[in-house]
Amino acid sequence: MNIGQFVDAEQIKSFAETLPNVLIARTFTFFCSDPGQEIIKRDIRELGVNRVVVAACTPKIHEPTYRELLVDAGISPYYFEMVNLREHCSFVHSKDKAAATEKAKSLVAGGVYRAIALEDVPRKEVQVTKSVLVVGAGIGGMNAAINLANHGIKVYLVEKEPTIGGRMAQLDRVFPTDDCAI
């Protein structure tokens, strides 16, 4: 489903240009494509764009692509905001282009105002001790502890009862093998 069939992209672009701190607004069929990404990178490098708002489809698929693009262009990946016009406008207002366009304008305005407030989050690496506390030494806790230990992780297994095994320790035999449960 093409977003442009259900929202007026040029009207949204014209509206976005009137919002505070918007340096440039563009329309392009697929900004997630290589040519679309190059347009964004060029705007960052040549025009000094320091925040990017993309009003398109779901961030679920494309957000990592755009964040990586920002890093490649030399700015923080956290200076990106995505506005989902496909699911939030095109799909739900497919019979009313004017309503879809007005809603898209509101969503774009929200995305721009949010982008203005975005801050860089510095990345840090911290040393961690690979260890896990497993609470409960029933069949589930013991299984988790064994699996973690098999992956080289130190496991602390804690049980409130004097014996391990949980409900399994109360059974004489188990189905379907009729093995001893103890």
- pTM (predicted TM-score): 0.67
Residue 169's pLDDT is 72
Which residues of the chain, if any, have pLDDT below 70?
1, 4, 181-182
pLDDT of residue 115: 95
Domain ranges, ordered by start, for the chain: 3-117, 131-180
- Which pLDDT score, from 0 to 100, does residue 6 have? 79
- pLDDT at residue 1, rounded to an integer: 54
Helix (H) or strand (E) holding 158: strand 154-158
pLDDT in tens, 69-119: 999 999 999 999 999 988 888 777 777 888 888 999 999 999 999 999 999
Angle between helices 34-47 and 59-73 (to 10 degrees): 40
Torsion sign (Cα): 59, 65, 67, 70: negative
Residue 181: per-residue pLDDT: 63
Query: Distances from the Cα of 134 to the Cαs of 103, 129, 141, 156, in angstroms?
Result: 48, 15, 6, 6
Looking at residue 11, its pLDDT comes to 92
Show the DSSP H helices in the chain as ranges. 9-16, 34-47, 59-73, 85, 97-117, 139-150
C-alpha span between 34 and 49 (Å, rounded): 19
Question: Which pLDDT does position 79 carry in this prediction?
Answer: 96
